[in-house]
Amino acid sequence: MTLGQNIAVAGHWFFIHFTENEGMAFGMKLGGNFGKLFLSLFRIVAVIIIGWWLYKVTRKKVSNGLIFCISLIMAGAIGNIIDSAFYGLIFSESTFMQVAGLFPAGGGYGPFLHGKVVDMLYFPLIQGYYPKWFPFFGGEDFIFFRPVFNIADSAITTGVILLIIFQAKFFKTLPQASDQISQ
């Protein structure tokens, strides 16, 4: 696929939309090559810490739901690290007119840990325009759920949302001795 190309999967509300994300969620970037390297190294350190923590808590009696949520977050992070680490090494630059080539003769477009993350899932569920009277955005396009994302992003988001919803169950503590005496 060329950069920005859409393939309709389900009507006007689900598309495969090829884009390359240079940075973090929603296309945010950290300054230049140093920022990209810092982000890649931060992801690797975070996955190592999460992996160590998962190893420790699986030996204790913790909720399987907590382990599942943290595993989703870790798996998504690893997926994005793989893209970031290797995509730039093995593909040529994508453009709006040309499909990226796999294993180009001169090498890829970026060094190790400087690749872009491929995002492709796009769900523009509701499309329309802001009313003219609407402050700041009056008359402009409105698309509900504009972000383009990938499966790894979905895993991270799902893990975080489930952690928030079930935090009381996952992080409940045992009653303290003083609580038991008062009862």
* pLDDT in the model for residue 173: 63
Backbone angle region of 37, left / alpha / beta, with phi > 0 → left and psi within -120 to 50 → alpha: alpha
* pLDDT in the model for residue 155: 95
Tell me: pLDDT of 15 over 90.
yes
In a domain, 90, yes or no: yes
Residue, of 127 and 29, whose pLDDT is higher = 127
Give me the active site residues, please.
119, 153
In a domain, 177, yes or no: no
In a domain, 1, yes or no: no
* pLDDT in the model for residue 25: 66
* pLDDT in the model for residue 30: 72
User: 34: pLDDT confidence band, cut at 50, 70 and 90?
Assistant: confident
In a domain, 180, yes or no: no
Percent of the chain with pLDDT over 90: 50
* pLDDT in the model for residue 26: 60
pTM of the model: 0.82
Tell me: pLDDT of 180 over 80.
no
Domain of residue 137 covers 6-172
Count of CB atoms within 10 A of residue 156's CB? 21
Domain count within the chain: 1
The torsion defined by the Cα of 6, 150, 144 and 146, in degrees rounded to 10, comes to -60
Task: For residue 152, give the nearest of 65, 56, 87, 59 by alpha carbon.
Answer: 87
Instruction: Over range 121-150, report the average pLDDT.
Output: 91
In a domain, 71, yes or no: yes
In a domain, 73, yes or no: yes
* pLDDT in the model for residue 68: 96
In a domain, 182, yes or no: no
Count of CB atoms within 10 A of residue 109's CB? 19
In a domain, 183, yes or no: no
* pLDDT in the model for residue 170: 87
With b for 16 or more beta-carbon neighbours within 10 A and e for fewer, the 45-82 pattern comes to eebeebeeebeeeeeeeeeeebeebbbbbbbbbbbbbe
User: 1: pLDDT confidence band, cut at 50, 70 and 90?
Assistant: confident
Instruction: Over range 131-137, report the average pLDDT.
Output: 91
